[in-house]
Amino acid sequence: MSYGMAAALQEAVFERLSEDAAVAALVGGAVYDALPSGTVPALYVVLGSEDARARADGSGQGAWHRFTVSVVSDGTGFHAAKQVATAVSDALVDAEMSLSRGRLVALHFWRARARREGSGNLRRIDLTFRARVEET
């Protein structure tokens, strides 16, 4: 296994979400790798956790990466967050993205979890995707 393509995958996902017209129409530039200090927007997208597992075969080294993209809203309901989550999913599923190292073989939706956070004023949807990458 090589974890060497993890940063390249993260960069490609961030770039894809940052440049997607549907995501931008809903959150503007509020797509983050890490939350900025200070006040955050009322509705934003942030990259989250990742698990990677070896996936080598006779053709070379590779890995499966399961990563989370979260949509967070301080709105009174889940509707706006679900619209953004839909745009995020549409932007990523089966997307053709170039990596700075290796290549993306496949990218699929894995699962989602919507919930209230804290005192119930925040809504959060965690979208988990599964990507297969391989060394080139």
Q: Which domains does the chain have, with CATH numbers?
A: 6-134 (3.30.2000.30)
Mean pLDDT of the 54-82 span: 89
Is residue 136 classed as helix, strand or coil in its secondary structure? coil
Span 96-118, pLDDT tens digits: 999 999 999 999 999 999 999 98
Q: For the CA atoms of 37, 39, 43, 47, what is the dihedral angle to 10 degrees?
A: 10
Span 71-95, pLDDT tens digits: 999 988 899 999 999 999 999 999 9
Distances (CA, A) of 72 to 19, 34, 37, 42, 123: 19, 13, 16, 8, 6
pLDDT at position 133: 95
Q: Provide the token pair at 111.
A: 């699962």
Distance CA 106, CA 133 (A): 7
Task: Report residue 27's pLDDT band, with 50, 70 and 90 as the boundaries.
Answer: very high
The pTM score is 0.93
